[in-house]
A and B are shown apart, each in its own frame.
Chain A
C-alpha cells in the first residue's frame, strides 16, 4: 500500500509545483485507479497526455476504441494514453476480454470522474470525450463525440512539435 502511494504523491507534488494542474493527477485525487486498484504514474519526463473518457455502455465510445488502439501503437512511445472509464470495473473487464485496450484504463466513482471531466472543459458531460494535453498539463485539443484516427493524428503530431 505504501508503495502504491508514492507515485500518487509524486504526481500530486509534481502537479502542485507546476502552474497548471496535471489532468491525470486530478483524476487520481478524485479516486480514479487502475482495475487492479493501483494508481497510474505520469510517465516522466512529462510527455503529452491523451485522455479518453469512455464507458462500455456507450456505443459511440466503443466504436472509437480500435482507432485509439491503432494510434497508441504509433504514438504510444512519445505520448501517454489513458482511458478513463465511467463504468463498473466488472463491466470494463468483460468488455476488455472482447475488445482489449492497448493502453491503461483507470476508473472510479462515475460521479466524481464526471465532475473532473466537467471541470476539464466538458460542460455537457457527454462521452466519448477526448482531450490532449502537453507535458505541463495545458489543454491542446479536445473533442466530444467519436474521434477518427485521421482527425486525431495531426493533433498528436502537433503536440510532438512535428
Chain B
C-alpha cells in the first residue's frame, strides 16, 4: 500500500511537472542549493523539534555537516541511519538522499515562534558540491513541512518557494511576477478568457488600444484583490497556514478542482451567466468614465473566481508573506504576482480574437482534456489529508495490526478505560510525518521490538487530519505534533518518560521505560 501511495504521488508529481514545464526557467540543469535541499522544522513538544529536509532526486546531504542551533547553542540531534559511503579521503561518511527527518532536543524550553538555525552541506550525484548552507527556520513548520503536506511537494511552476530565503525586495517582486506568468500558463486562467471576451472584446467597435486599456484596468482590479490577500496574509501571520490545513478548506479546494476538471472535459461551459453580463453592461453604461470602472470591478471579482484554483501556489506565496509579516512586501509581492498572471491577458486584449482561435477545435479539445486530467490529479493530491486515512492502513507490516487506531479524544478515553490493568503505549502518528513512517517501517516490525512490546497494549493516535480533535489530543499531552510515544502505567498514570522522534530498533528497546511488571 505504501508503494501504491508512493507511486500515486510520483505519478501526480509527473503530471504537475508536465503542466509546469512551460514555466521552468533554469538554464543550467543543476539546482541551486536552496532548491535542492529544503529544510523545515516543527516543534514536537517543549523540548524536542523535528527537522526535515526535502532533498531533490540526484542530490544528497552529509550527516557530519549538519548542525542545528538555537540562540547560538548547538542542539543534540538524533540521526536516522543513512547511506554509508566510503570516501577515499574522509573514510566512512553517512549521507542522506530524498528525505531526512531528525529529532533535536533542546535544554531550554521552546515555543512554536522560536527560530533555529540549521547548517547543512550536500552534493549532487553529478559531481558537484555546494558550499555549506544555513537557514533560519520557525518552529511552527511554516517554512516547508506544512506546505509540503498541503502540496505534496513543491508545486511545479512556482518559482516562489526557492526565493523565500532572500529578502531583496526587487528580486522577490520579480520572481513573484515570473511566478504569475508561470501560473497564467496553467489552466487556472482559462475561466477568465470568456470573461475578457464578454466584457471587453464583446464590445462592438472599440479600438484595439481601448481594448488593451480596458484589459489593463481589469488586471489592476484583479491585482487589487491579490494585494488585499497579500496584506491580509502579512497581517495574520502564520494563522493563514493553519487555516489552509482545515479539512473543510482542503475539501473546498479539492471540490473546485473537480468542478474545473469537469468543465475541461466539456461537462458544461464556463462563462458568466447572461444576467450578470447584462447587469455589468448596464452598470458600465451608468458609470462615469465608460467601461473602465466596471471592468476594474470585474477584475476584483475575477480574482475571487480563480483564487481557489490558484490555491496551492498561492498558499505557498501567502504562507511566505505571512511568515515575513512585512505588509509592504506582502502587498507588493502579490501585486507583482497578479501583474504576471495578467500579462498574457493583455496580449489577448490587444490581439483580441486573432490569436485565440488559431488552434484547431480538435487540438483545443485535446488540450482541455489534458488539463482536465491534471486538475483531477491536483484535486486528489490536495485532498490527500482527507482520504489517505480511510485507505486500509498504509502499513501492512505485522506490527500495524497490533495498534488500535483512534482519532478523537473520546475514542482515546474509552480505549484507555478499557485497558486498565495493562500498560499502554500511545503512538502519535500522521501520514505526513516522515519519522513516524520510518518507525513504522524499520522499528516496529523488528522481532526484538515486537518481543519488547509484548506486555503493552498499543494505541495509535492518528493526527493526520489535523482537525480539532487531533489538536485537542496533541494539546492534552503538551505535544505540538507527531512523532511522539507516551506510556501509561497499568493503573492509568501517564509516565514522565516519552519518546520523541525516530528510534532504531535497539535504541527503541533501550529507551522503553523499564519492563512493566507483569
Interface residues of chain A, those whose CB is within 8 Å of chain B, are 55-62, 86, 95, 98, 110-111, 113-114, 123-128, 144-146
Binding stretch for chain A, among B129-137, B298-306, B411-419 = B129-137
Q: Whole-angstrom distance between the alpha carbons of A95 and B33 in the complex? A: 25
B-chain residues with CB within 8 Å of residue A128 when the two chains form the complex? 128-129
| Closest residue of A by beta carbon distance from B85 | A59
B206 on the A face (CB < 8 A): no
Contacts of A145 in B (CB 8 A): 126-128
Residue of B nearest to A99 (CB): B89
| 21 pairs from A and B in contact (CB 8 Å cutoff) | A56-B89, A58-B129, A59-B87, A59-B88, A59-B89, A60-B123, A86-B132, A98-B89, A110-B132, A111-B134, A123-B27, A124-B30, A125-B32, A126-B123, A126-B129, A127-B128, A127-B130, A128-B128, A128-B129, A145-B127, A146-B127
A115 to chain B, nearest CB (A): 10
B244 on interface, CB distance cutoff 8 Å: no
- Contact of B469 with A by CB under 8 A: no
Is A58 touching B32 in the complex (CB atoms < 8 A)? no
Are B32 and A123 in contact, with the CB atoms below 8 A? Answer: yes
Chain B contacts of A86 at CB under 8 A?
Answer: 131-132
Q: Tell whether A110 pairs with B131 under 8 Å between CB atoms, given A57-B62, A59-B89, A59-B123.
A: yes
> Which residues from B are CB-within-8-Å of A113?
131
Cβ of B28 within 8 Å of any chain A Cβ, yes or no, is yes
Contact check, A126 vs B30: say whether CB atoms are below 8 A apart. yes
- A-B CB contacts (within 8 Å), total count: 64
Q: Is the CB of A57 within 8 A of B126?
A: no
B400 within 8 A of A: no
Min CB–CB distance B505 → chain A (angstroms): 31
Cβ contacts under 8 Å, B131 to chain A: 55, 86, 110-111, 113-114, 125, 127
Contact B28 A123 (CB under 8 A): yes
Residues of B within 8 Å of A110, CB to CB, are 131-132
Query: Which of A55, A95, A113 neighbours the largest number of chain B CB atoms within 10 Å of its CB?
Result: A55
Going nearest first, the 5 A-B pairs with the smallest beta carbon separation are A126-B128, A58-B129, A60-B127, A124-B30, A86-B131
Alpha-carbon gap, A86 to B32, bound state (A): 16
Given contacts A123-B27, A123-B28, A126-B30, contact A55 B89 (CB under 8 A): no
Within 8 A of A (CB), among B115-164: 121, 123-124, 126-132, 134
Given contacts A57-B62, A59-B89, contact A124 B33 (CB under 8 A): yes
Task: Indicate if the CB atoms of B27 and A57 lie closer than 8 Å.
Answer: no
Min CB–CB distance B131 → chain A (angstroms)? 5
Q: Which residues of chain B are near A55, meaning CB under 8 Å?
A: 129, 131
**Which partner residue on chain A sits nearest B65 by CB separation?**
A57
Q: Give Cα A130–Cα B338 distance, bound, in whole angstroms.
A: 40
A145 to B131, CA, bound (A): 14
Q: Which of B31, B88, B90, B132 counts the most A-chain CB atoms under 10 A from its CB?
A: B132
The reply to whether A144 and B89 form a contact with Cβ atoms under 8 Å apart is no
Q: Are A124 and B31 in contact (CB under 8 A)?
A: yes
Residues of B within 8 A of A144 (CB): 28, 30, 128
- Report the Cα distance A59→B31, complex, angstroms: 18
In the complex, which residues of chain B have a beta carbon less than 8 angstroms from the beta carbon of A60?
Answer: 123, 127-129
In Å, the complex CA distance between A145 and B90 comes to: 20
Q: Report how far A57 CA is from B129 CA in the complex, Å.
A: 9
Partner of B129, one of A98, A123, A127: A127
Q: Is B89 within 8 A of A62, CB to CB?
A: yes
CB distance from B354 to the nearest CB of A (A): 38
Q: Which residues of A contact B62 (CB under 8 A)?
A: 57
A3 to B177, CA, bound (A): 50
Set B28, B127, B132: member contacting A124, Cβ < 8 A: B28
**Given A56-B89, A60-B123, A62-B89: A125 touches B27 (CB 8 Å cut-off):** no
Q: Which of B360-412 contact A (CB under 8 A)?
A: none
Which residues from chain A contact B30 at a C-beta distance below 8 Å? 124, 126, 144
Bound state CA distance, A55 and B122, in angstroms? 12
The docked-state distance in angstroms from the alpha carbon of A106 to that of B105 is 38
Q: With A and B bound together, what is the CA distance between A98 and B88 in angstroms?
A: 12
Kindly list chain A residues whose C-beta atoms are within 8 Å of the C-beta of B65. Answer: 57
CA A123 – CA B26 in complex, angstroms? Answer: 10
- B314-372 interface (Cβ within 8 A of A): none
